[in-house]
Amino acid sequence: MERDNYLLSVGERIRRDKIRLEKAIRTLSQSGPFTADDIVIRFHDSGQEPSFNDYIRQQIVRLKRLGKIRTSETYTAALKSFSSFMKGSDILFGELSSDLLMEYEAYLKNRGNSPNTISFYMRILKAVYNRAVENGLTGQRNLFKSVYTGVEKTLKRAIHLNDIRRIKRLDLSLKPHLDFARDMFLFCFYTRGMSFVDMAYLKKGDIANGILTYRRKKTGQQLFIRWEKCMQEIIKLFCLSVQDFKVVH
């Protein structure tokens, strides 16, 4: 078994070196006459280039450094999915092809992923590839022409108002964690779908003259919401007055 694994690794190395050699010759041929020494130099220089997978990892680190944590998480999810498809093997930029991406698309479909989920992964891979082109790591090729990268309109889903009333009337006094979750859900509902992270950053100074004003963490958009009695009823459960208003902190 150990010998078989060694032979497989050697075969993989030979295959990759062959791709690097072909790429070196192809690149040099576009610049005019070249010698065997030129090929050797170009071949060794190409060994310093990151694989496609490594380049995605580099972008994840870069995004975290820029403070774009949520985007870095989506890149991490895409890398995990693509690596699973590749069975853990790295791939060089020269090995990327339309056929390979179509196989990846079929792989995602067979795993029950929706068109929008497939597009989500493909658009991330495409963004990484385009950045690599800009940085001169690979040439521009229309690799994503045959895979889906659009966005389908999803069926709108809504909970019935009677169900909201039933949730509000539930006696959860013996289950404090569910009681808190229910109150956070209702506060989100009353505030027109405020995200939990935005709720967590609300302060007492955000309420003035009967208006709740806050800025979305995700987009920076400023929103204004009329402060209603139902909102204050929830706040009173956690503090003595609106002046002491804190949702989480």
For residue 207, what is the DSSP state?
A: E
CATH of 50-151, one of 1.10.150.130, 1.10.3210.10, 3.90.940.20, 1.10.260.30: 1.10.150.130
Percent of the chain with pLDDT over 70: 85
> pLDDT for 159-200, tens place per residue?
888 999 999 999 998 999 999 999 999 999 999 999 988 988
Q: Is 213 helix (H, G, I), strand (E, B) or coil?
A: strand
Mean pLDDT of 4-33: 71
Classify residue 84 as exposed, middle or buried by CB count within 10 Å of its CB (0-12, 13-18, 19+).
exposed
- Please report, for the chain, the start and end positions of each structural domain, with discontinuous segments joined by +: 1-48, 50-151, 161-244
CA–CA distance, 150 with 121 (Å, rounded to integer): 11
CA 221/CA 146 separation, integer angstroms: 36
Residue 185 in tokens: 């859900």
Q: What is the pLDDT of residue 45?
A: 64
Q: Cα-flanking dihedrals φ and ψ of residue 154, to 5°? A: -95, 155
Whether the predicted pLDDT of 104 surpasses 80: yes
**What is residue 39's predicted lDDT score, i.e. its pLDDT?**
77
Q: How far apart are CA 236 and CA 242, in angstroms?
A: 7
- Give the helix, strand, coil percentages of the chain, each rounded to 5: 60, 5, 35
**Edge-to-edge strand ranges of the sheet holding 207-208:** 207-208, 211-215, 222-226
Chain segment 118-175, per-residue pLDDT in tens: 999 999 999 999 999 998 888 888 999 999 998 887 777 778 889 999 999 999 989 9
User: Following DSSP, what letter does each residue of 90-152 receive, concatenated?
Assistant: ---GGG--HHHHHHHHHHHHHTT--HHHHHHHHHHHHHHHHHHHHTTSS----TTTTS--S-P
Average pLDDT over the chain reads 85
